[in-house]
Amino acid sequence: MTYKGIARGNVIELEGGATLPEGTRVDIIPEQPVMVNVPWHPLTLKEWLREAREIRAQLPRTGDSVEILQQLRVCD
């Protein structure tokens, strides 16, 4: 059986509330880290603000979760 978990210090915390009997021997196979495409240079404040405004323009205009769900249903 396979379990997933996260290493924290020298302890592996199993996901989903899974448990193993004390003393159970295990093999650990780390997953490959996800590569993130990061710009080769830091953004200026002006560039960062422009990108933030572009992202914000794509988001719903409200913080009301009921209204957001209604907007999403209209888009389907």
User: What pLDDT does residue 67 have?
Assistant: 75
What pLDDT does 21 receive? 92
pLDDT score recorded for residue 51 = 87
Q: pLDDT tens digits for the chain (76 residues)? A: 888 888 888 888 998 889 999 999 989 888 887 776 766 778 888 998 888 888 878 776 767 777 777 766 765 4
Q: What is the pTM of this model?
A: 0.39
At 46, list the tokens: 């002006």
User: How far is it, in rounded angstroms, from Cα 5 to Cα 19?
Assistant: 11
From CA 76, how far away is CA 73, in angstroms rounded?
5
